[in-house]
Chains A and B, each alone.
Chain A
Amino acid sequence: MAAIVSDDIMDEALAPTLQNILDQKTLRWIFVGGKGGVGKTTTSCSLAVQMAKVRRSVLLISTDPAHNLSDAFGQQFSKDAEKVNNVDNLWAMEINPNGSIQEMIDQSAASNSNNGMSNMMQDLAFSIPGVDEAMSFAEVLKQVKSTDFEVIIFDTAPTGHTLRFLSFPTVLEKALAKVSELSGRFGPMLNGLLGQQGMSGPDGDMFAKLESMRQTITEVNEQFKNPDLTTFVAVCIPEFLSLYETERMIQDLAGFHIDIHCIVVNQMLFPGKNSTCPQCNARYKMQQKYAEQINELYEDFHVVKMPLLTEEVRGAERIKEFSKMLIEPYVPPE
């Protein structure tokens, strides 16, 4: 789990900013992930805005079914990359992880509605766990690979989904082998029984699609495991459950050999000394306790602490304002 970073960054390893990510020019993929409701979207938007200042072109992708990019920037995005207004060099897109598989099923159902064998095989193939997410992901990755964005930032769905996707190729490989073996063995026989011919058409098509998807995922996963190309930014809030999930995620990522060396702690409260708000003071105390624990546990990480604002971070201007704090550590007013 030890972050693999170049030496000059190591020297300032404790710098509580994301400057190191801006400086690491080789980075191509950045994932932003954490539990739901901790401010992933705000963080990823802010990071994207900052990245866009120092890179030629940056693409921000949301794979969260609850799309927030449109909300955050106050601009409707679709599944094609679209320029973000008022921010140079930044594009954004939102993809629905459940969309593409449904499309594919409908499509193939329309083209060969009465081929029992191929339908069965499709059902089998689609019952592979996680296949739908992976498919949409692969689709997006294909698109993204063909374009030449310098950096691609993922605003991921809450924890589990991302990890499942990252572990997907092996699962898929095994499952695909089984399914194609089955169809190879029983396909001709069933076809003979049913008196049909030419199942190779649509069915073979589907397997080709699955196969190409697998290749894309495997290839991209190789890149994800390279700390020069990919990094993960964990977002959390100073509360027990969030910390717990973050720790687990960091361990899992280490298991997948994915680099992670930055943690953003959101929603820190800084009530003034003369504050008379009992809730704020109590919460401040609790947050400080967890913040200390974070510092102790993740001493080889860049831990960025972001304050809880009194207004929602929405609209390009506010995000720009907020994003500065990722680079310049926030100093609470005395």
Chain B
Amino acid sequence: MFSVLWTVIFVVVINAIIATIGSDNIGELAWTLWVTLIPSPASKKEKKLREVQKAAIALGTEISGVSAQDEFATWAKLNRKMDKLKDEMEKLNAGLGAQRAFFKVQVRRAVWVSTTGLKFLVRIKYRKAPVFWLPKGMFPGWIEWVLSLTSAPKGSVSVAVWFMVVDYAIKGTVVYILTKSVQGVVYIRSEKLAKVQVKAKSGKPAAEDTSKSSSESAVKSESEKKTE
């Protein structure tokens, strides 16, 4: 059975994942997928824009190969073409920019509903359900009362409290994993760096020290960011 306990964990994990990716990035990703995979006026425009951009880049290289002084006519004609392409690009960009912004707002809304909204819903729906029962007499009465807030039966852990606990644990895990992986990467890098420095003979200990301390500070700042 898909109990309340697992529902809460599931919701929190989804929340944590989305928060780490960032809803803006999700919007960007969704827009790219939408434009490349699903045929629509927007995707046509995007395709056109890509083509025009490619053409402009090709034309740019062509122009740079033509001497303005010696072949002014050719050069000017190419530049006229370039102006036209740039105009077209601007128009396409303006149209797409509005559509893209609108799309991203929609995505952000959807993301909000499926995270914060879902959390809210679960909290209200199961507000009276006990997530699990505490062994009798394990805690004094007032702690039992706090753990059953807001309206779960006394002696059980309520959804709200369970949310808090899981939230804390998951966030801590995420931060831990991230910190560790970053640390690992930095460690490997500094290891390599040290080897390179050793190879470059006369391994200067001072240089190694500074690289280590800088990598440490990098890790620190990274983990600080995450906890924020």
Residues of A whose CB lies within 8 Å of any CB of B are 240, 243-244, 247, 251, 289-290, 292-294, 296-297
Contacts and interface: CB of A to CB of B under 8 A. Distances in A.
Interface centre among A290, A294, A297 (most CB of B within 10 A): A297
Contacts of A244: 68, 72
Interface string B72-105: 1100110110010000000000000000000000
A247 B80 CA distance: 9
A243 B70 CA distance: 12
Nearest to A297: B73
A247 B76 contact: yes
A289 B70 contact: yes
A298 to B, nearest CB: 9
Contacts, number: 24
A251 B83 contact: yes
B68 A240 contact: yes
Majority-rule SS of A interface residues: helix
A106 B213 CA distance: 69
A296 B71 CA distance: 10
B83 A293 contact: no
A240 B83 contact: no
Majority-rule SS of B interface residues: helix
Contacts of B61: none
Q: How large is the interface on B (under 10, 10 to 19, 20 to 34, 35 or more residues)?
A: 10 to 19
Contacts of B76: 243, 247, 297
Interface string B21-55: 00000000000000000000000000000000000
Nearest to A292: B73
B69 interface: yes
A243 B71 CA distance: 12
A240 B79 CA distance: 15
Nearest to A298: B73
Contacts of A293: 71-73
B80 A243 contact: no
Contacts of A292: 73
A240 B67 CA distance: 11
B83 A243 contact: no
A292 B71 CA distance: 10
A247 B69 CA distance: 13
Contacts of A243: 72, 76
Contacts of A251: 80, 83
A332 to B, nearest CB: 23
24 contacts: A240-B68, A240-B69, A240-B72, A243-B72, A243-B76, A244-B68, A244-B72, A247-B76, A247-B79, A251-B80, A251-B83, A289-B70, A290-B72, A292-B73, A293-B71, A293-B72, A293-B73, A294-B72, A294-B73, A296-B73, A297-B72, A297-B73, A297-B76, A297-B77
Contacts of A247: 76, 79
